[in-house]
Amino acid sequence: MNLNLTGNHLEITPAIRDYVVAKLDRLTRHFDHVIDVNVVLSVNKLRQKIEANLHIRGKDLHAESIEPDMYAAIDALVDKLDRMVLKAKEKRVADRHDSAEIKRDPAVWSPESEPPAASAGTPRV
């Protein structure tokens, strides 16, 4: 996982960097295919804003969080990203399993399941 941290009107201290890295490890625990993460931390008066773009295989996820405390904003952001990653993972697994069930289900491909052909003499209504 490549991590890119950027600070707008904020110097990124080693403590903030370590905290972000520790929290983002939770994402890789749930989903191994995280390619790239871009995190932007910004401060505007009393508003601490953190944004993240997460690039996983086949999808880009974006989340942002605004809190009065930077550490609370990081926690809220990671919670949002964790839910997004789990949802993307579930969709990916469900799509893979749904297509396999359709191919293997004999009732779907049996001739009895097709509708009967209309006779040539009766008009359709």
Instruction: Enumerate residues 6+ apart whose C-beta is below 8 A from 108.
Output: 102
Q: With beta carbons less than 8 A apart as the criterion, state whether 21 and 3 touch.
A: yes
Q: How confident is the model at residue 118 (pLDDT cuts 50, 70, 90)?
A: low
Residue 120 to residue 95: CA distance in whole angstroms: 40
Q: What's the Cα-to-Cα distance from 29 to each of 23, 26, 39, 48, 82, rounded to whole Å?
A: 11, 5, 19, 27, 10
pTM for the structure as a whole? 0.73
Query: Apex CA 45: angle with CA 40 and CA 47, to 5°?
Result: 55
Q: How confident is the model at residue 81 (pLDDT cuts 50, 70, 90)?
A: very high
- What confidence tens digit (pLDDT) does each residue in 88-100 have? 888 888 877 766 5
Looking at the chain, the whole-number percentage of residues with pLDDT higher than 70 is 78
Going by CATH, does the domain composed of 2-108 fall within 3.40.50.720?
Answer: no
Residue 81 to residue 93: CA distance in whole angstroms: 18
Query: Apex CA 67: angle with CA 62 and CA 69, to 5°?
Result: 120
The bridge status of strand 59-67 relative to strand 47-56 is antiparallel
Q: What's the Cα-to-Cα distance from 47 to each of 24, 43, 61, 73, rounded to whole Å?
A: 22, 6, 23, 10
Sign of CA dihedral 102, 106, 111, 116: negative
